[in-house]
Structure 1
């Protein structure tokens, strides 16, 4: 089974994916963004654009996820924003055509909620600055620039199942996805502080210095 978790940048996809993985034995997170940034780094800086526009990214994601789904004995989780219908068909749609059990979910939130979450990434910007890799909030600015487009496009019926996350937590969102996919997660343990520390750890592991 594949759980593809869609949503706007800053919408909680990665946190939710890792929450499910932590509480679902045998599951694994296969992040399509890793392939995209790898392809992006191969190109001269002046040619770097949206890696989703590369056919090689779309085909590569399908190839890798197809392999993982075929050979891995467990649920595969892919957190990835895809808003273009054609690209959605070439990735999620193609995996369904190959016969895989694909459950797609889009995490949505009001614009102000997503903006607040993006502002909370200030620690990421600070660490980039300390490392001398980044002197400005480029990624967050790019995410804000794309936000309205993402929210508008992802509300379309083709990107269902829609889950609104404004007034819920990451563990509860994970619980909801599990119920809809027919999965049983281990109970969420730990108080609010422990949960925040765990989520901070996920965020730190996903810092990109480029």
Structure 2
């Protein structure tokens, strides 16, 4: 038995190319929830490494998961791959309809919610910004409505796929709000979503891969002008 075990091939090493990003956090927290050891390879987005360009030549963005000789780009794709490739608590629901709903709302977060939040955060104060903030809060209301009554997370009593997809709302939105001087998510308007955000941020596994807020502010504040430029382009 011991001889047979000794001859078994070792599990391919798992590495994650990333940097300070809510999308990289998605991949990290998925790996940690599944109990998968990994090495984080910090990349410089201002001077992208040959490793990143070789493994994500299409978008040239992080995160990219390296699993042996396989490379998987895009955060939500990585989360699904991790869920299927490794043992551990399931991240997507077992029921096909619930799985489809989780994927739909995850796409809503990326395709609609973050755009609405970003433009509202980084548009100059005025009537246009007020209207954009109203639209962003309406999108937050749609997301909040997906929280199951009496449950801690979108995934029920445990963090699941949609919680991971929406994690930027819990961890990064407060940083951007402080930088921009704009509040979009508040207990007065979205009590259930705020409760969820606190529950998510306080989770022990999530905390293991959550950057310090002071460090995030120090790193991101100099990029404020760039954020305003991207918001202007998105709103055009």
More relative contact order, 1 or 2 (CA 8 Å, 6+ apart): 1
Larger radius of gyration: 2
Normalising to structure 1: TM-score of the pair? 0.28
Normalising to structure 2: TM-score of the pair? 0.26
